[in-house]
A and B are shown apart, each in its own frame.
Chain A
Amino acid sequence: MTDTASQTNGPNLVRFLTRKQGGIKMTWADRVTYGYLLLGVFVMLLPVLWVFISSFKEPANLSEYPPTLMPVTMEKVEVEGYKTPLPLFEVVQEDGSVKVMAQIRRVGIRAQMVDPENPGAGRVTIDVKKATPVRKFHLAIENYEELLDSSGGNIWLNIYNSAFITIVATLITLVMNSMAAFALSKYQFKGSTVALIAIIATLMVPPTVILVPTYLIVSQVGLVNSLWGVILPAVATPTGVFLLRQYMLTIPDELLEAARMDHASEWQIYYRIVLPLSTPALAVVAVFSVMSRWNDFLLPLIVLNRPEVHTLQLALAGFQNENGIVWHLLLAMTTLTALPLAFAFLFLQRYITAGIASTGVK
């Protein structure tokens, strides 16, 4: 973050980046590496930054080409005798000087303008090529206001639906998976391998492959258009069980034996000893669950058909179907949808990356 912000003091940045341990000079390999990484920053970060900036542009500004770097709006002025404020233009006069005029209307390549200082002087017709709009920096917060107010507050429903699914599903996932992982890591019993394989084998059944029957089961239970219809089908995650089990295996059995000698029941051992000690792994599973639930699309798409049960993702995707694409609302909504996870990422990056890393290296 500091890297992009310090672009202004360029020499400092270069010195900072080229400084090497023990004063050894940068090799060409280092230069290539930094070059690649900076290019990466450009490609990875720019699109999202662009959406963020764009979400603060008003509709007229959004449809401009070439796009403006910053959100801007036309400078407007109240002119006597005109109901609405008129946009200002800098007009190149016959003698080469520049004069600020207000545009009344535009017809083809000609525009009717008036001098805002002196509206009495009458209308002038001007070639639009000679006029450039006067603009100022302007954050179109009204995009967000419109989004949150419009469509009868449906957006709040969408947020609620997404949050409900995410939180409830994650809680259930944590309890269910940790219970299974506890049984599979801390007991030797007949059939434990079979149970483990059965759970892990569901990795081989991609949710997309069982889309139709999942819908059948959900509708048989009467959960179509119910948030529970989205929560329940994906509540047991094989990777969650696997991660938790691997972690619980590292908890020494002696601890459990000590607890048993301390008169603890097996259930107490689970929730008073093993569960608190598995917090790091639980955090990883929770983050995974939150991420996939918040971002989930296909399952809500088939289960939730009525607008009032739509999640944020569905509502977002729905924006382009109604009357073309309403970009100013869509961009604001995209930003809103991505925001919670962006914050989560800032605080939980360590857990998230550690969790992902542990799925591959075992």
Chain B
Amino acid sequence: MANLKLENLNKTFGTVEVIPNVNLDIEDGEFVVFVGPSGCGKSTLLRMIAGLETASSGDILIDGESVVRTPAADRGVSMVFQSYALYPHMTVRQNLSFGLENIGMDKAEIERRIQDASKLLQINELLKRRPTQLSGGQRQRVAIGRSIVREPKIFLFDEPLSNLDAELRVVMRFEISSLHERLGNTMIYVTHDQIEAMTMADKIVVLRKGVIEQVGAPLELYNKPDNKFVAGFIGSPRMNFVDGKATSVTADGFNFSAEGLGDLALPRGQRPVEDNQPVSFGIRPEDLKVVGDEGEGWDFSVSVSEQHGRDTYLHGLLADGTEILVHQPGQFAAKRGDMLKVMPDENAWHLFDSDELAIV
């Protein structure tokens, strides 16, 4: 049981700052997911917590104790690697016991831990096999088992599901979540898949270029993204953005206008808006409603219509040339070249200034 605190953590390779300055608090028992596109520094951050990368400056505190100079093995954390990193020449049992033998733990205790972990993960039938004789999901379980037997304060997962096929990924997602519920340990999980992040996390940390863009609960990030990057990254299919400017700013509201599109009246938020300020208007595909070809709305010409059965996705262009995606629940008859009118749903839009920060 442990909390984790990162203070002004910095990682520099030569002259490249991979992680400029990270501050983060993780509470005891939280399931935290680091998410971001590849190269955003999320794995580096995790490996710094694990002790596999040295921090260039800053501090890492586990339960208030600085571990930044402690070797990886002595930090009380365990790691499940992306490739599982099971020792191919050892049996499952040897894989589980290797680390415990290295610290000279007595045989009975090792045996007890192996039994407990293998029962928990349902791998007790596999103890005599080698990793090459296991399926992807079984390897995954063994890798988690190797973490569990060490009884760490904090579990670290580095993209553990990226080598599994889509179906198995869903199963393992659920298993890791329920494991967290049973063990109650702090877990930090790295992924580039925002669906994994959304479904598993208590708290999501969105990273870009080594900088934390936003920290929050999944729906908080979905509903109230702090900036255009988070808005675009969280949610699938991704949010549409239409560039335009703010006009007719009054004390209560203002208009969003873009070339060729009808003005949209919006209420004022906390942040100041000026007349003619360039802004980016964000709207999720499911929040665009098709309003038929008459009446108020933006002209939309369909270029591809994807029929999924339960849902219909319409790719196409707005009058100003912006490519957008519209989601229609159910089956919707539309084909290439059709002209439709779409209308953003009230209260579901987002607005970002030229610094990509949210104007709410």
Contacts and interface: CB of A to CB of B under 8 A. Distances in A.
Contacts of A257: 52, 72, 79, 81, 85
Nearest to B152: A261
Interface string A226-268: 0000000000000000000000000010110111111110001
A273 interface: yes
A262 B78 CA distance: 9
Given A273-B87, A277-B88, A261 B73 contact: yes
Given A262-B99, A263-B99, A264-B98, A252 B85 contact: yes
A276 interface: yes
A255 B52 contact: no
Contacts of A273: 87
Interface in B23-75: 50-52, 71-73
Nearest to A257: B52
Contact of B102 (A254, A263, A276, A277): A263
Contact of A262 (B82, B89, B98): B98
Across the A-B interface, the 6 shortest Cβ-Cβ residue pairs: A262-B99, A263-B102, A258-B85, A254-B85, A263-B73, A254-B81
Nearest to A273: B87
8 contacts: A255-B85, A257-B79, A257-B85, A258-B146, A262-B98, A262-B99, A277-B88, A277-B89
Interface of B: 50-52, 71-73, 77-79, 81-83, 85-89, 98-99, 102-103, 146, 150
Given A258-B87, A261-B99, A272-B98, 14 more contacts: A257-B52, A258-B85, A258-B86, A258-B146, A259-B98, A260-B52, A260-B71, A260-B72, A261-B52, A261-B77, A263-B103, A264-B98, A264-B99, A268-B102
B325 to A, nearest CB: 38
B141 to A, nearest CB: 16
Interface residues of A, number: 16
B50 A261 contact: yes
A255 B72 contact: no
Given A254-B83, A255-B87, A277-B89, A261 B78 contact: yes
A258 B72 CA distance: 10
B295 to A, nearest CB: 58
Contacts of A263: 73, 99, 102-103
Interface of A: 252, 254-255, 257-264, 268, 272-273, 276-277
A125 B124 CA distance: 95
A264 B98 CA distance: 9
Contacts of B73: 260-263
A3 B102 CA distance: 56
A15 B293 CA distance: 78
Contacts of B103: 263
A261 B102 contact: no
A258 B81 CA distance: 8
Nearest to B51: A261
A274 to B, nearest CB: 10
Contacts of A276: 89
Nearest to A258: B85
A92 to B, nearest CB: 76
Contacts of B82: 254
Contacts of B83: 252, 254
**Interface SS of B by simple majority:** loop
B155 to A, nearest CB: 12
A257 B73 CA distance: 10
B102 A262 contact: yes
Nearest to B147: A261
Contacts of B98: 259, 262, 264, 272
A41 to B, nearest CB: 39
B79 A258 contact: yes
Nearest to A260: B72
B137 to A, nearest CB: 19
A273 B87 CA distance: 7
Contacts of A264: 98-99, 102
B72 A259 contact: no
A281 to B, nearest CB: 14
Contacts of B50: 261
A136 B81 CA distance: 74
A276 to B, nearest CB: 5
Contacts of B86: 258
A254 B50 CA distance: 12
A260 B87 CA distance: 12
Nearest to B53: A257
Interface centre among A258, A259, A268 (most CB of B within 10 A): A258
A277 B146 CA distance: 20
A132 to B, nearest CB: 68
A261 B154 CA distance: 13
A16 to B, nearest CB: 37
A255 B77 CA distance: 17
Contacts of B89: 276-277
A268 B51 CA distance: 19
B62 to A, nearest CB: 15
A263 to B, nearest CB: 4
Nearest to B89: A276
Contacts of A268: 102
A263 B89 CA distance: 18
Contacts of A272: 98
B222 to A, nearest CB: 33
A277 B71 CA distance: 25
A277 B51 CA distance: 25
Contacts of A262: 73, 98-99, 102, 146, 150
B12 to A, nearest CB: 15
A183 B73 CA distance: 21
Interface centre among A260, A262, A264, A268 (most CB of B within 10 A): A262
A254 B88 CA distance: 12
Interface centre among B98, B103, B146 (most CB of A within 10 A): B98
A263 B104 CA distance: 10
A193 to B, nearest CB: 16
A273 B90 CA distance: 9
Contacts of B77: 261
